[in-house]
Structure 1
């Protein structure tokens, strides 16, 4: 993780005219702007997302727990918000940073202004920042810790904000899955959304999938349902016995936030038990990373991570390139993969591991998000690949 000088910086700064918000980084940098959303302070790791659409899905993705999201696309908020385009009921992101002021919504599906939506969830935001400059800083120096401040009265305690940013431990070593997982078992049958119809229902499932929720996005569950699955969702702390007593045809490991090594302390033993059972197993994002740990590999934290809906990934088996949706700051260390595990997908940005499979078992995982939401649907075939594995072992 980036290291910052903990010496107190000079923070007796004049208040720019009209400033009601600021981003205070752990190195003492202060970026002024206009506060949006809820008033107050919020600390987190400052990251950037390059998606050109789907800001509501991004803000409600549980994998953003502990993070402040800088949107590189300038038109955030222009289509408002609605009750359908959410990936979890309670957003876990720490806040957002945008370039332009949030405009009134101009979309037929809009039910609420983004600013009002942010206030309803107590989420702090900041507008008017040079997001290009901030993104370059993150790209070149790594994702810093920072505090968002929204003070409508113009009163800022920059020293308190800097102290909080400096003291925050960062995501490395942090288990956040427990904060965003479900608290009890439940069933899911909602299928994907279609224009003019809304969300469908899976009434005639052919397979039973147990999904372990480390911070699952709703659209993952919808994709499983649309592929013909009855889905039973279990909390992140479920054991192998909890999973297998439900007699699933397959097991799914969801996305989620935080350090996979920290979450893996309780999840890896569960995954090893499922591997021993021979059940088909499919993991996404954090689930992919923890599958790697269960197989004997290691993970490490990236400088900036991958966050956006436009990341090219190559399928090494077919040679095809998929444009993918991604959100992760940790990655599986390829050099530590055992001989019976092979890399199936690779990032064309930095050559990092984007997918693995076990050679002698119906087990595979990908680092990116085939369910999209937001993003392209190039990778939906992976859900059908999982179904084919279940067909082959049933």
Structure 2
């Protein structure tokens, strides 16, 4: 079970208690919007369809390529980094940019006839993703495409219907940055052989423990009112570094509204960024909250060999990493720097699915605290429209 420790948050229990009565009120408001991101574990039919497609196609291809950006890619990247081998040659590539060097170099390492292209766009009209699709469709057999898009509208849905290309649905009531546990993330995960049923079981477990997400949101909201409106996510696990990328979009797009509302997300990695960012967090401006992601089971126990450094004798890498986390936590606390810890028993499909929902639900609660719509992104649309005007 995932836990949240707020002992070092600098927020008193009195302040926490003053907000507890809002949980049910805010939850009713969220549920009244008929949002789908917290109900995905109930959709057994989609789970079955995704699993069947993956089982039929997993061994037919040498590589899988996802074309998508933002919410259509970051969750998949996190799933791959967190739950597959860190160094074996990847079977899945995610092309989440239109950099021509990246597009040309991917062609150096794949055989088009042995590659399945997964085209992902919630709207069906994302120009970056469509431009990639049109580039590759000139080179790739049509049967090597599968789409993930809106159930009814958009260019991609029109192409799927016209050309009989398999297409999975992103539920209309699930926003892009909340879509990791729809076919957007489930299909690539299933093709990689991950247990997608466990991912969704994690969602159910998190939904039954809504208090964690509410307390996380309460912490961030109360601290932001004190001027601490930067949240640093710092996993102490190499496997979870891309979780911070996914969370950055979730937090920034959901809460950055109305000119004066927002929490700036920052990514850090333990222990690596103790040697690059920790100085700032300990002695710089007191405008940050650090969220540590701690993992009880870091994997195989590896002993540090005999050496002349006395304090390392008889120590495993596992213990060293956990000790450095605790030392970092204590140093921040002694300097009056707010920090909290989300603790996972292990990195697995179930815990990652639960963590996704905890974080998604926390930004939904944050939206209620601030009185804003956490599910739109009007600031993104202006840039899109200007791009179209400039190219027209």
* TM-score (structure 1 length as normaliser): 0.30
TM-score scaled to structure 2, two decimals?
Answer: 0.30
**Which structure has more helix as a fraction of its residues?**
2
Q: Identify the structure with bigger relative contact order (alpha carbons < 8 Å, sequence gap 6+).
A: 2
Indicate the structure with greater strand content.
1
